[in-house]
Structures are given as C-alpha cells and as structure tokens.
C-alpha cells in the first residue's frame, strides 16, 4: 500500500495542471456547480479521488439534484484540491464513516482502477448505490463478484462513460439517431487516442494488474458507445489485438489496441492508443463515426483540426438531404438528472444495469483474449 500511495501522490502532482484545467472548464460551463443545490433530491459522498474525472462526475450528479455531503481521500494533496473546488464539503477520516452513514444514498469514486470494484462491492453491501469512473472493473473475476452482489442487493452499480455521457455532441447524436436522420445504425467506429508523457506517470500506470490493460481502460468508452448507438443487447468480440510498439522499457505496458465486435443490432470497431503528439492542442483527437442506412454522423469530441471551430463537441451530419456541421457546445447533458432520478425511483433511464455490465464484459474479454501485435519501430 505504501508503494501505491507514493505513486498516487506522484501521479497527481505531475498531472495537477491537467486536472485543474478540467475543473476550471467545468466551472465556467456551469457556474453554480460549487454550491449545494437549494432543493437537493439526494445526498451523496465521494471515496477515492485519484483521477480528475471525479470532478466531472461530482458536477454531473450535483446538476442532477444531488447534494455533495462528504468525502474521503488518503492523500493530503488530493483532499486539499477537492476542498478548494467544493469548500462546503466535509472531509471524513475513514471510508467507514461514509459507508455507515445511513443518510448517504450514493457514493462516487475514481480511485486506482484495481480498487474500484472492491469498493463498489462494499458500497452495495452497505445499501448504497455506486457511480464509478471507467474502467469500473478490471478483471472478469471482479465482474463476476460485482454481478453477484448487485443481484443480491439490488443496488445500482454504474460506470461513468464520460465520452458519451458528458460530451454534448455525442448526446446530440443519440437524439438525432432516435429521430431517424441516418436510418438504422449499421456500425460504429470509435477512435480513442491519448497523450502519453512517461516521465509524469507513476509506476503502477505501466502495470496491467493495477489498470487492466489498454482495452480495459481507455477502450471501455468505445464498447459503451457501440452498444448504445447500435442498440445491441447481445454482442461478442470478433477479434482484438494489443501491442507495446514504442515503450520496451515498460514490458507490462500497452500503447496500442484495436477490436472488432458484432452485436444483434450492428457492428463495431475501435482503436485506442497512447500516441497523441505534443503539437495537438488537446489530450486526444477522439472521434466517433456512426454509419446508418440513410447517412452517417461523425463526432469530433475534443478538437476539430480541419477547421477553425474552437473547443470540442463538433458534429457532422451527412444524409440523403444535406451535409451539415452542428456546433453542439451549447447543448445539454442530461445524465446527471436521469441518474439521480434512477437512484430515487429505482429506474434505469440513464443506463440499464445490463448495458453497464455488458460493455464491461466485452472490454474485459477483448483484453484477455487479444493477440499480441509484435511491432518495433
């Protein structure tokens, strides 16, 4: 545990600028998110804040009507940053204080990936619902235990797939597909490049037993989108491959992965990598193409390098009637409200439990059974 704690602090220290940028962007977009809602629908807490995604998760639930009550973090630097963003929140001394607080209905977490499923199991056993950063589960053994406890407790175990749920262009694409603007969806192609700065990464970042592998980790978004946009409820991995192309000094690390999958309502392909060049004004040029029988949609999530369009959330529509660019930056993000209502009403409007688990299962199987691409450049 000392090894993990040390490297957690190192990781956060080296990535603090990026986390601060994400928090600032969220605050500018939603200036009221650092205040408690006047009429909160539920009380929630946070355990584990090792990734900056926790800020977006917290803001989404707050916008949806949640009241952030307390948090626990082992690391003093992480705790200080969290209190600075949410000055009204109570810092507690142990996970137990939150788990045994009967007034708390929901717990959020973005701890180190290997720790996320064990915490979620404890959360459900304590009668609370759980929203965790991706990857929410990193082995098939963890998935089996999570499924077992979820079935027994009937609690919600949900994973925050932010590339779909917190990107306004992706949300708008879902609405347009329901409207039938591109006909029936045939295939999704998801690209998830990320920036890699080895000197800024802790030791555990390069070890699969802590993060699960490249497909389990950053590929998890793409499985969620494949199921959602095709409407598939049954799916399987056709083939997958992983590689360490450029970092032989880290033998347990993977910097490239791709997967082909098929479902009962469509097909999918994904590619993920750690090769975003420093010259790009974003951590990754994430893209999603959705092919339909009557047209297609392309989403450029974080940046549009072919134009002067600022920021992210860009959508291109091509169908039988038109070719059109749509700026989605002023759109809405309904996940927070839907999820809060699901917790209160025991419904599944934000994401069904089976969808959550199936997306995870696909990622874990693609990772486990991937062939090794032996490339050295």
Positive or negative, the CA dihedral 117, 122, 125, 131 is negative
Q: Are 174 and 185 in contact, with CB atoms under 8 Å apart?
A: no
Architecture of the domain whose range is 2-160: 3-Layer(aba) Sandwich (3.40)
Stated pTM of the model: 0.89
164-333+364-372 fold: Dihydrodipicolinate Reductase; domain 2 (3.30.360)
CA dist 145 and 208 (Å) reads 20
pLDDT recorded at residue 30: 40
pLDDT recorded at residue 273: 97
Average pLDDT per 10 consecutive residues for the chain, totaling 377 residues: 41 42 39 52 96 95 97 94 97 97 97 96 98 97 98 98 97 98 98 90 85 95 98 98 94 96 98 96 97 98 96 98 98 97 98 98 98 82
Give the residue extent of every domain in the chain. 2-160, 164-333+364-372
DSSP one-letter code for 336? H
CA dist 34 and 58 (Å) reads 10
Host H or E run for residue 373: none
Q: Are 98 and 44 in contact, with CB atoms under 8 Å apart?
A: no
pLDDT recorded at residue 377: 58
């Amino acid at each position: 545990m000392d090894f993990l704690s040390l490297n957690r602090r190192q990781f956060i220290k080296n990535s603090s600028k990026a986390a601060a940028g994400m928090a600032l962007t969220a605050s500018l977009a939603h200036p009221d998110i650092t205040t408690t809602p006047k009429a909160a629908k539920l009380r929630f807490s946070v355990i584990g804040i090792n990734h900056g995604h926790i800020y977006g998760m917290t803001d989404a639930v707050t916008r949806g009507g949640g009241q952030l009550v307390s948090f626990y973090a082992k690391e003093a630097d992480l705790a200080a940053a969290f209190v600075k963003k949410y000055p009204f929140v109570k810092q507690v001394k142990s996970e137990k204080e939150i788990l045994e607080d009967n007034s708390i209905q929901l717990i959020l977490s973005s701890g180190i990936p290997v720790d996320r499923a064990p915490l979620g199991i404890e959360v459900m056993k304590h009668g609370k619902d759980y929203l965790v950063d991706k990857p929410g589960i990193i082995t098939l053994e963890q998935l089996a235990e999570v499924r077992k406890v979820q079935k027994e407790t009937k609690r919600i175990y949900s994973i925050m797939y932010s590339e779909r749920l917190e990107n306004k262009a992706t949300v708008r694409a879902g609405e347009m597909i329901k409207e039938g603007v591109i006909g029936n969806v045939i295939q999704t192609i998801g690209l998830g490049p990320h920036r890699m700065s080895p000197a800024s990464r802790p030791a555990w970042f390069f070890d699969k037993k802590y993060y699960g592998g490249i497909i389990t980790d950053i590929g998890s978004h793409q499985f969620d989108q494949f199921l959602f946009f095709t409407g598939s409820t049954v799916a399987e991995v056709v083939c997958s491959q992983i590689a360490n192309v450029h970092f032989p000094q880290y033998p347990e690390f993977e910097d490239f992965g791709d997967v082909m999958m098929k479902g009962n309502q469509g097909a999918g392909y994904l590619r993920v990598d750690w090769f975003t060049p420093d010259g790009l004004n974003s951590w990754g040029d994430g893209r999603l193409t959705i092919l339909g029988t009557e047209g297609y949609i392309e989403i450029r999530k974080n940046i549009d390098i072919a134009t002067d369009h600022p920021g992210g959330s860009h959508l291109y529509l091509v169908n039988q009637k038109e070719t059109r660019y749509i700026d989605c930056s002023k759109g809405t993000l309904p996940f927070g409200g839907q999820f809060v209502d699901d917790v209160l009403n025991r419904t599944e409007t934000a994401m069904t439990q089976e969808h959550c688990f199936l997306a995870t299962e696909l990622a874990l199987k693609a990772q486990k059974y991937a062939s090794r691409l032996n490339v050295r450049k």
